[in-house]
C-alpha cells in the first residue's frame, strides 16, 4: 500500500473563562505588570476555576476540532494527548478526555515531551497515518499549570509565565492524489543532560521511601524550577536551527512560508528567533500576551486561532517550532 500523507482537517481550542492579569499576580507576589510585559510580553493568562479539569478543556478543544472537520468521535481511530500537567499522575489526562468524548474503545495515550509535546504527538500521528495503521487521529495539547505553580515571590519567575489551555487538531489520511495538503516534514530533538534545568523534582518514583514528603513540600520541591537564562539561551539557539532543518527536509524555502508559529514561552524568545532568521512581523502570529505559556497546548491553540482569523487558507505553508523541558525541541512544516 502506498504511504499516505496526513493532513490537518480540523482545529479547536479552549481556555478557561477566568482571566488573571499581571496586576492580579502582583497582589500575590513581588512582581509588576511592567516587569512581566517587558521580559515576557505577557499581559494576562487564563486559570481554571474549582471543579474544572484538564479533560474539560481538552474535551471542548476536541469537540471544536471535530466540528470544524465535520466529523464525530466515532470517525477517530486514535487519541494522542501531549501534556506535562496530567490530570492524575496515572493514568494521565487522555483517558479522562476519552471518557468525556464517549470514545468507545479507541486507543488513547498521553505523550510527555513538555512544551514540544504537540509536535512530538503530531509526528507520531503522522507516522501512524502514513503507515496505514490509522485513518484519522485526534491530536491534543492540554495544560493546567495554575494549580502547580508557586504563586508567591519564591516562584515568581515561573508563576508569571504559565497559563491554562487546550488545543486540538484532527489529522486525516489525504487520499486525493491531486491534493498536495499535508504534513511535509517534522524534525525532533532531545538532550536529557539538561533535564534538571527546567523540571518538577517531586513527586518522584525514585524518591525513597516515599515519592513526596512533608519536608519536600515545605521546601517547595513540588513546584516547577527553571534556570531562566540557561533555558532562554538554548531556546534561541535550537529553535532557528531546527526550523531551518525542517524546512530543508520539506524542500521549502523560508520565503515560501506563509505563517510561522512559535511555542509561546516568551515573546522575547520569539522576537529573537524571528530576527535571527529575518522573518517579517506579518508572517508571525503570537497569542502569548493573552494566554501566557500553555506548554503543549500553545501551538495547537495558535493553529486554532489563526485558522479562525483567516490567517491560514488552503495552499499555505505553515512552519511550527517549539522548545521545552527535557530539553526537547522540534519543528514541523505543513501545507494547508
Residues that bind ligand COA (CB under 6 A): 31, 35-36, 39-40, 115, 156-157, 160-161, 198, 226, 228-229, 231-232, 235, 265-266, 269, 293, 295, 324-325
DSSP sequence for 35-74: HHHHHH---EEE---TT--HHHHHHHHHHHHHHHHT--GG
Closer Cβ to ligand COA, 31 or 146, answer by number: 31
Q: How far is the CB of 149 from ligand COA (least distance, A)?
A: 11
Asked, as a colleague might, if the bond just before 333 is cis with ω within 30 of 0, I would say no
- CB 44: neighbour CB atoms within 10 A? 18
Q: How far is the CB of 144 from ligand COA (least distance, A)?
A: 15
The answer to whether the Cα torsion of 62, 67, 73, 79 is positive or negative is negative
Q: How far is the CB of 160 from ligand COA (least distance, A)?
A: 4
Closer Cβ to ligand COA, 161 or 320, answer by number: 161
Q: How far is the CB of 66 from ligand COA (least distance, A)?
A: 28
End-to-end CA distance of the chain: 24
Closer Cβ to ligand COA, 95 or 232, answer by number: 232
Helix (H, G, I), strand (E, B) or coil at 180: coil
Q: How far is the CB of 157 from ligand COA (least distance, A)?
A: 4
Strands (E), the chain: 5-14, 19-21, 44-46, 78-82, 108-111, 136-143, 165-174, 182-190, 198-199, 225-226, 259-262, 317-324, 328-335
**47: number of CA atoms within 13 Å, CB side?**
18
**195: number of CA atoms within 13 Å, CB side?**
7
169: phi then psi, degrees, rounded to nearest 5: -135, 155
Closer Cβ to ligand COA, 75 or 157, answer by number: 157
* Residue of 245, 203, 290, 321 whose CA lies nearest to 21: 290
Q: Choose the catalytic residue: 263, 266, 287, 294.
A: 263
Closer Cβ to ligand COA, 59 or 163, answer by number: 163
115 is catalytic: yes
Q: Choose the catalytic residue: 108, 115, 142, 294.
A: 115
Helix (H, G, I), strand (E, B) or coil at 157: helix
Distance CA 132, CA 173 (A): 8
Strand ordering across the sheet containing 328-335: 182-190, 328-335, 317-324, 259-262
294 is catalytic: no
Distance CA 130, CA 124 (A): 10
Distance CA 154, CA 37 (A): 19
Closer Cβ to ligand COA, 129 or 265, answer by number: 265
Closer Cβ to ligand COA, 96 or 327, answer by number: 327
Q: How far is the CB of 208 from ligand COA (least distance, A)?
A: 29
Q: Closest residue (Cβ) to ligand COA?
A: 228
Q: How far is the CB of 94 from ligand COA (least distance, A)?
A: 21
Q: Choose the catalytic residue: 22, 123, 266, 293.
A: 293
- Catalytic site residues? 115, 263, 293
Amino acid at each position: 500500500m502506498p504511504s499516505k500523507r496526513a493532513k490537518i482537517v480540523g482545529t479547536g481550542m479552549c481556555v478557561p473563562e477566568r482571566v488573571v492579569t499581571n496586576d492580579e499576580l502582583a497582589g500575590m507576589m513581588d512582581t509588576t505588570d511592567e516587569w512581566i510585559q517587558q521580559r515576557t510580553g505577557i499581559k494576562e493568562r487564563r486559570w481554571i476555576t474549582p471543579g474544572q479539569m484538564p479533560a474539560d478543556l481538552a474535551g471542548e478543544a476536541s469537540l471544536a476540532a471535530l466540528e470544524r472537520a465535520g466529523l464525530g468521535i466515532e470517525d477517530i481511530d486514535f487519541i494522542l494527548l501531549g501534556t506535562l500537567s496530567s490530570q492524575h499522575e496515572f493514568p494521565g489526562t487522555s483517558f479522562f478526555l476519552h471518557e468525556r468524548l464517549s470514545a468507545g474503545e479507541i486507543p488513547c495515550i498521553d505523550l510527555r515531551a513538555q512544551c514540544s509535546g504537540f509536535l512530538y504527538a503530531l509526528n507520531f500521528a503522522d507516522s501512524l497515518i502514513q503507515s496505514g495503521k490509522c485513518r484519522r487521529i485526534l491530536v491534543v495539547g492540554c495544560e493546567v499549570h495554575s494549580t502547580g505553580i508557586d504563586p508567591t515571590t519564591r516562584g515568581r519567575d515561573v508563576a508569571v509565565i504559565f497559563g491554562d489551555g487546550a488545543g486540538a487538531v484532527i489529522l486525516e489520511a489525504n487520499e486525493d492524489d491531486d491534493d498536495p495538503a499535508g504534513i511535509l516534514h517534522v524534525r525532533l530533538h532531545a538532550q536529557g543532560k539538561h533535564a534538571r534545568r527546567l523540571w518538577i523534582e517531586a513527586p518522584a518514583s525514585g524518591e525513597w521511601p516515599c515519592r513526596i514528603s512533608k519536608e519536600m513540600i515545605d521546601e517547595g520541591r513540588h513546584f516547577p524550577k527553571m534556570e531562566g537564562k540557561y533555558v532562554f539561551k538554548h531556546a534561541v539557539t535550537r529553535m532557528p536551527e531546527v526550523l531551518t532543518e525542517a524546512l530543508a527536509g520539506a524542500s521549502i524555502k523560508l520565503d515560501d512560508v506563509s505563517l510561522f508559529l512559535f511555542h509561546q514561552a516568551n515573546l522575547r524568545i520569539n522576537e529573537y528567533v524571528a530576527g535571527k532568521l529575518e522573518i517579517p512581523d506579518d508572517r508571525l502570529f503570537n497569542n502569548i500576551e493573552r494566554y501566557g505559556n500553555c506548554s503543549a497546548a500553545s501551538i495547537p491553540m495558535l493553529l486554532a486561532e489563526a485558522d479562525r482569523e483567516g490567517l491560514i487558507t488552503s495552499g499555505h505553508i505553515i512552519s511550527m517550532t517549539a522548545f521545552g523541558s527535557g530539553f526537547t525541541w522540534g519543528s514541523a512544516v505543513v501545507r494547508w
